[in-house]
Amino acid sequence: MNSASAQGAILGIEDLHFSFGGLKAVNGSSFSIERGWINALIGPNGAGKTTLINVISGALRAEGGKVHFEGTDITGWPSHRVAGRGLIRTFQISRELGGMTVLENMLVPPPHQAGERLFNAMFRPAVGHDQDRLLVEKALARLDEFGLYDSRDQYARNLSGGQKRLLELARGVMADPRLMVLDEPFAGVNPALVELLEGHIQKLRDTGITFIMVEHNLNVVERICDHVVVMAEGRTLATGRLSELRTNQEVITAYLGGALTQHPHAATAVGVEVAVKDAPRLEPILAVTGLTAGYGRVPVVQEVDFQAEPGKVVAIVGPNGAGKSTMLKAVFGLLRNTSGSVKLGGQDIGGWAAFRIARGGMAYVPQVINVFTNLSVHENLEMGGYTLQSGVQKRVEAVLEIFPDLKTARSKKAGNLSGGQRNMLGMARALMLEPKVVLLDEPTAGLSPAYTRVVWDQIRRVAGLGTAVVVVEQNVDLAVNNADWVYVLVAGRNRMDGPAAVVGKEDLPSIFLGGEVPANLAASVQ
Amino acid sequence: MPPVVYYLTTLIVFFFVFAISTWGLNLQFGTAGILNFTYITFFAIGGYFTGVVMLGRPDALSNMRYILGLDLPFPIALLVGAGAAGVLGLLVGLVALRRLRSDYLAIVTVSVGAIVYDFVNINTAVFNGADGIAGIPYPFNDLLGLDPNTYTFFYVGLTGVFTLVLGLIAFRIYDSPLGRTLRAIREDSDVAAAFGKDTYRFRMIAMVVGCVYAGIAGSLLVGFISALNPGGWAAGETFLLYAALLLGGRGNNWGALLGAFLVPVLFQEATRYLPPIPNRPELIPAVRNMIVGALLIGILWFRPQGVLPERKAAFKDLKYVPRRKVAGVE
């Protein structure tokens, strides 16, 4: 490994350590980053990538080792000091300042604002206003470049998911960073937007900003990254260009094969899927017709129809802002002001509160915050069986049989699980009440390819038990390859649906990448 | 002077005092998101210190015990009162703001409030215990020599000047980059820190300035009513101010002003002079407290943003021309 003093290195990591309780998340990682490159930080789930960038950016304090930034030892510095030096990080989940406008979000990051001093704020307001005038011009130009100009006076919380990702990047640049650390900037982003974000990152690189980004999508890495750092089990496994690393056996084993051998069931997924793909539609257990729902007065989904049958997997796909997650929330009774009919086993459950729907036999697993982090895996499952009169322990064992991965981690705190394992636990907990229908919101978002396969294998196993499964999936290929029936949602409406094999033959790229996508993004602003 | 005029001028002074308090609370809670549940304690500290700086040495004649007793003029007493409130705010901030999350911070403020209250209430050597201090001279009246009625008009003017100046400063802070950063910390302090903002230092600024506002308000009130005892600043008074801010609109200084008028003045003080119900003198205050509590719940349930909600920041005289519009000209 190069040391921090290497020529041209902007960041040097030496033998870094950090653990959560007994879990050694970062365990002796070392590497250095050259100035002016886009660097990818990749590795299987649980490799410690997010923890590493939390330690680098000062959100967590290193337990051992050193972090050098531009020759200065910044180990143990608090976040604000690290940021003040020009090392800016973004977050895996968009962290917009919701109660402030988009433009104001852009005005927070610039360093050294004279108007932030109390004396100036109280007695010399012109100082702040004069500086603001320059910052506002700069911010508006940047918003324009990022296609957010028209949303400048919106509250940031009202942006669509994709727009929030754009804001996250644009806002970070306002801090005048020399190194930007991006935690999965493409998580949950549709292909058209991925391309847009890639272009922005490349342009920013050309202006002299160095990037480190945690990324799972190797196509993205291939396209835009100059250099790759591979992590596994808290260590740096290899560094180099992706083309070199692809043939590196160690990397292949850790990143793909290693994960596969840990999860022997993954291989069976393909067989299951072929057998059921062309089966005709059965009597639906969940039937949704004419569903219209949203958060304010503007509906996000309009007149949507879909159905799910026992033992089948239904996938819902569509570009960002299509209303996929909103639709699930509406079906599960989490939104007010919904109209249309939702029938569960023939019974109209429209207007029911979520807890009543849960008791009625439907389960919902949100995309994030889907486990109780302070409870163990076992306790999480017990919580899932809270309404059972008896036989909770028996049910826990039965569910753990379906999820071998969780069985070995049953006494671990859920907060110490990797992102993929958490999603599995969310799903497992949902099964505690033996639901007839399970709604999963992007269970594979942000997971490595190998673990994504494991999760889909589990989804198929769950369906194999006779449950109807509804999955919102960002990755169309996965949906088409694994589900029985696929619904395509665009701009809050049904675009098409059919057996997965049939939908897969349609011209999906034109739906996702066509000229209408940016228009849809603009339209989805409330 | 007719009683109604005296009554109205008194209410105006109260309005000014409460407006200053609510602005300070809006800086702490509405802007920076600091849940200070013992805001009234800082108000009381300001009042007490102003009182004991203006009073002369305690003697057998006055039958009071208190510290200081410096017999100094009001401007100095006001500075000492405001400073004492600020220093106490700083101390609480040192304990509570560095590490603690907002909910724990709220618990710390409640604890500090209880400690200070009991200390002042029981320890008669500091501010004369439960009986409190009284007989504080009217500010500047040794020079003016006005009769009590005319003096009330003078005091309306004096507090009015303070209200104007402190109001102007409150609006300026809110609209400044400092206010923007405080709101960013309120929305998500991790994000603010990730952009290089020293969230501890910024929250401390809001804490101390807010407490100084409370101290000045307490000081002005003591100058007017000439007395202060622990009964006047029980924990419930803080919630009266929260009710005012939430009803008016947190994060909006006009809302704070409106709330200060509606809750503590119009509702609380105006009903204080209702004729007591025969044989049940405790009924009116009790019902009044219940109504304030119900009001607080009602606001949070039906209109959490208040009558005048926080407004979007507006930037005037923008010269920027978006690229698309430029392209459209072609």
| Spatial separation of the C-alpha atoms in residues B83 and B87, rounded to whole Å | 6
Contacts of B169 in chain A (CB under 8 A): 122
Chain A residues within an 8 Å CB radius of B251: 99
Let me know if residue B57 belongs to a domain: yes
Q: Name the pLDDT band for A261 (thresholds 50, 70, 90).
A: very low
Q: CA-to-CA distance for A291 and A188, rounded, in angstroms?
A: 24
Higher confidence at residue A507 or residue B44? B44
Sheet holding A87-89, edge to edge: A87-89, A179-183, A210-214, A38-42, A227-232, A235-240
Tens digits of per-residue pLDDT, A443-491?
A: 887 677 778 888 898 899 889 889 999 999 877 778 888 899 999 888 7
Same domain, A358 and A493: yes
In a shared domain, residues A208 and A67: yes
Question: Do A13 and A122 reside in the same domain of the chain?
Answer: no
Distance CA A482, CA A372 (A): 29
Q: Above pLDDT 70, what percent of chain B? A: 95
DSSP 8-state code for residue A196: H
How far apart CA A47 and CA A61 sit, in angstroms, is: 18
Mutation to test the B interface, candidates A116, A127, A149, most B Cβ within 10 Å: A116
Are residues A111 and A74 located together in one domain of the fold?
no
Q: Exposed, middle or buried, B90 (CB in 10 Å: 0-12/13-18/19+)? A: middle
Task: Tell me, yes or no, whether B259 lies in a domain.
Answer: no
Query: In this structure, what DSSP letter does residue B229 have?
Result: -
Q: How far apart are the first and last CA of chain A?
A: 50
- Chain B: closest CA distance from residue A126 (Å): 9
The C-alpha atoms of residue A176 and residue B30 are separated, in whole angstroms, by: 29
Q: A140 to chain B: which residues are within 8 Å by CB?
A: 318, 320, 322
Determine which of B166, B178, B318 to mutate to test the interface with A (most A C-beta atoms within 10 Å): B178
Q: Is A93's Cβ below 8 Å from some Cβ in B?
A: no
Q: Any residues with CB less than 8 A from the CB of A75 and at least 6 apart, and which?
A: A62, A65, A66, A67
Least confident of A149-158, A224-233, A281-290: A281-290
Count Cα neighbours of B135 within 13 Å in the Cβ-side half-sphere: 16
**Pairing label, strands A286-294, A299-308:** antiparallel
The reply to whether A212 falls in a domain is yes
Q: What is the pLDDT of residues B173-202, one digit of tens each?
A: 999 999 999 999 999 999 999 999 999 999
pLDDT of residue A277: 41
Question: Is residue B282 one of the residues assigned to a domain?
Answer: no
CA distance A377 to A413: 6
In Å, how far are A134, B252, B324 from B327, measured between CA atoms?
23, 39, 5
Residue A524, pLDDT > 70, answer no
SS (H, E, C) A91-105: CCCCCCCCCCEHHHH
Q: Cα separations (Å) of A256 from A44, A157, A216, A461?
A: 8, 37, 12, 21
**Residue in the structure block whose two tokens are 């300026």:** B172
Indicate the pLDDT class of residue B212, thresholds 50, 70 and 90: very high
Q: Is residue B99 part of a domain?
A: yes
Instruction: Quote the pLDDT of residue B113.
Output: 93
Q: Is A45 helix (H, G, I), strand (E, B) or coil?
A: coil
The ipTM of this complex is 0.89
Query: Mind telling me how many Å the CA of A88 is from chain B's nearest CA?
Result: 7
Residue B39: phi, psi to the nearest 5?
Answer: -55, -35
Q: Which amino acid is at B141?
A: N
Residue A336 pLDDT > 80, yes or no?
Answer: no
Give the C-alpha separation, A388 to B197, whole Å: 49
- Banded model confidence at residue B156, pLDDT cuts 50, 70, 90: very high
Sign of CA dihedral B72, B76, B82, B88: negative
pLDDT for residue A223 is more than 80: yes
Q: Is B313 left (phi over 0), alpha (psi -120 to 50) or beta?
A: beta
A83–B196 C-beta distance less than 8 A = yes
pLDDT at residue A217, as a whole number: 73
- Cα dist from B187 to A109, A155, A179, A297, whole Å: 14, 12, 25, 24
- Residues A104 and A220 placed together within one structural domain of the fold: no
| Domain extent at residue B118 | 3-231
pLDDT of amino acid B119: 93
Least confident residue range of A173-187, A229-243, B237-251 = A229-243
Identify any residues that bridge with A33 across adjacent strands, giving them in sequence order: A11
Q: Is residue B50 over pLDDT 70?
A: yes
Q: Residues 6 or more apart from A498 whose CB is under 8 A from it?
A: A485, A486
List the strands of the sheet with A313-317, edge to edge.
A362-365, A437-441, A468-472, A313-317, A485-490, A493-499
Q: Mind giving me the DSSP string for B171-223?
A: HHHHHSHHHHHHHHHHH-HHHHHHTT--HHHHHHHHHHHHHHHHHHHHHHHHH
pLDDT at A517: 31
Q: CA B219, CA A32: separation in Å to the nearest integer?
A: 59
Say yes or no for a CB contact (<8 Å) between A175 and B195: yes
Q: B322 vs A144: CB contact, 8 Å cut-off?
A: yes
Contacts B29 to A, Cβ<8 Å: none
Question: Nearest chain B Cα to A54, which residue?
Answer: B194
Q: Which residues of A touch B194 (CB under 8 A)?
A: 57, 59, 79-80, 83, 88-91
- Report, as an integer, the average pLDDT of A123-152: 93
User: Looking at the 3D structure of chain A, how many domains does it have?
Assistant: 3
Spatial CA neighbour of A152 closest among A217, A204, A222, A104: A104
| A301: in domain | no
> Is the CB of A167 inside 8 Å of chain B's CB atoms?
no
Cβ separation A100–B317 shorter than 8 A: no
- The answer to whether position B306 is within a domain reads no
Q: Does B173 touch chain A (CB under 8 A)?
A: yes
Chain B residue with minimum CA distance to A171: B195
Could you tell me if A362 and A437 are in contact, meaning their C-beta atoms sit under 8 angstroms apart?
yes
Nearest to B184 among A79, A100, A145 (CB): A100
The backbone region for A44, taken as left when phi is positive above 0, alpha when psi lies in -120 to 50, beta otherwise, is: beta
Q: Which residue in A95, A121, A131 is closest to B172 by CB distance?
A: A121
Interface A–B counts its CB contacts (< 8 A) at 127
Q: For residue A138, give the chain B residue with the closest CA.
A: B320
State mean pLDDT over B2-22: 91
User: What is the average pLDDT value for chain A, to the nearest integer?
Assistant: 83
Interface-testing mutation among B23, B97, B175, B176, with chain A (most A C-beta atoms within 10 A): B176
Q: Is B21 among the domain residues?
A: yes
Mutate which of B315, B323, B325 to disrupt the A interface (most A C-beta within 10 Å)? Answer: B315
| Distance (Å, whole) CA B103 – CA A369 | 20
Q: Taking CA atoms, what residue in B is nearest to A140?
A: B320
Across the interface, do B172 and A122 touch by the CB < 8 Å criterion? Answer: yes
| Residues A39 and A140 placed together within one structural domain of the fold | no
A202-220: average pLDDT: 90
**Mean pLDDT of chain B, nearest integer:** 90
Percent of chain A with pLDDT over 90: 44
Among candidate residues B222, B218, B228, B236, the one with its CA nearest the CA of residue B288: B236
DSSP A237-303: EEEE-HHHHHT-HHHHIIIIIHHHHH-GGGGGHHHHHHHHTTPPP---SEEEEEEEEESSSSEEEEE
Q: Which amino acid is at A109?
A: P
Same domain? A387 vs A247: no
Q: Is A145 in contact with A77 (CB distance < 8 Å)?
A: no
Residue A7 has pLDDT above 60, yes or no: no
Domain co-membership, A394 together with A499: yes
| Nearest-CA distance B264 → chain A (Å) | 27
Interhelix angle A392-402/A449-464, nearest 10 degrees: 130
Residue A372 — φ and ψ, nearest 5°? -85, 105
- Whether B262 has a pLDDT exceeding 60, the answer reads yes
Residue % of chain A over a pLDDT of 70:
87
pLDDT in tens, A386-429: 878 788 899 999 889 888 888 888 888 888 887 788 888 998 99
Residue A20 has pLDDT above 50, yes or no: yes
Residue B208 contacts A where some CB pair is shorter than 8 Å: no
C-beta atoms of A128 and B176 within 8 A: yes
Backbone φ, ψ for residue A441 (5° rounding): -100, 105
Residue pair A478/A456 in contact (Cβ under 8 Å)? The answer is yes
What domain count does chain B have? Answer: 1
Categorize the per-residue pLDDT at A323 as very low, low, confident or very high, splitting at 50, 70 and 90. confident
- CB-based contact (8 Å) between A27 and chain B? no
Candidates B172, B186, B202; nearest CB to A125 = B172
The reply to whether A42 and A189 lie within a common domain is yes
A117 contact residues in B (CB cutoff 8 A): 178
Q: Which of residues 387-406 of A touch B (CB under 8 A)?
A: none
Q: Which residues of A touch B178 (CB under 8 A)?
A: 115-118, 120-121, 128
- Is the Cβ–Cβ distance between A278 and A284 less than 8 Å? no
Q: At which residue do the structure tokens 């009513």 appear?
A: B225
Q: What's A182's domain CATH number? A: 3.40.50.300
d(CA B108, CA B201): 18
Under 8 Å between Cβ of A75 and A67: yes
Q: Name chain A contacts of B315, Cβ cutoff 8 Å.
A: 103, 132, 136
Quote the radius of gyration of chain B (alpha carbons, Å): 22
Nearest-neighbour CA in chain A from B23: distance (Å): 14
Judge whether B313 is closer than 8 Å to chain A, CB to CB. yes
Say whether residue A144 is in contact with chain B using an 8 A CB cutoff.
yes
User: Distance (Å, rounded) from C-alpha A255 to C-alpha B163?
Assistant: 66
Closest among A443, A499, A495, A511 to A471, alpha carbons compared: A443
Structure tokens at B93: 């901030």
Instruction: Tell me: pLDDT of A258 over 70.
Output: no
- pLDDT, one tens digit per residue, over A77-121 is 999 999 999 999 998 888 999 999 999 999 999 998 999 999 999
Confirm whether A297 is domain-assigned: no
Q: Which residues in chain B have their CB less than 8 angstroms from residue A84's CB?
A: 196
Closest approach of A175 to chain B, Cα-based (Å): 7
Cβ-based contacts of B184 with chain A (< 8 Å) = 97, 100, 108
Query: For residue A280, is it within any domain?
Result: no
In chain A, the residue whose alpha carbon lies closest to the alpha carbon of B314 is A153
Q: What angle do CA B188, B190, B192 make, to 5 degrees?
A: 75
Among B169, B310, B319, beta carbon nearest to A137: B319
Q: Are residues A141 and A199 in the same domain?
A: no
Q: Which residue of chain A has the CA closest to B312?
A: A101
Q: Does A122 touch chain B (CB under 8 A)?
A: yes
pLDDT at residue B259 tops 90: yes
Question: Is the model's pLDDT at B314 over the cut of 70?
Answer: yes
CB B260 within 8 A of CB B240: no
Helix (H, G, I), strand (E, B) or coil at A413: strand
| For range B121-145, the mean pLDDT | 89
Q: What single letter denotes the amino acid at residue B78?
A: L
Pairwise CB contact (< 8 Å): A91 & B194: yes
Write out pLDDT tens, residues A297-319: 667 888 999 999 999 999 998 86
Q: Does B311 touch chain A (CB under 8 A)?
A: no
Q: Domain for residue B189, yes or no? A: yes
Q: Does a structural domain hold residue A78?
A: yes
User: How far, in Å, CA of B22 to CA of B40, rounded?
Assistant: 11
Q: Is residue B241 part of a domain?
A: no
Assigned domain for A435 exists: yes
Distances (CA, A) of A41 to A26, B143, B223: 13, 75, 65
Shortest Cα distance, chain A CAs vs residue B109, angstroms: 24
- Indicate yes or no: pTM above 0.80: no
Contacts of A107 in chain B (CB under 8 A): 177, 180
Are the beta carbons of A89 and B194 separated by less than 8 Å?
yes
Distance in angstroms between the alpha carbons of the first and the last residue of chain B: 74
What pLDDT is stored for residue A276 in this prediction? 39
Binary contact (A99, B195; C-beta < 8 A): no
One DSSP character per residue, B241-269 reads: HHHHHHHH-TT-HHHHHHHHIIIIIIIII
User: What pLDDT, in 10s, does the model give residues B276-289?
Assistant: 778 887 787 778 88
Nearest chain A residue to B166, by CA = A122
The whole domain housing A417 covers 308-332+353-523
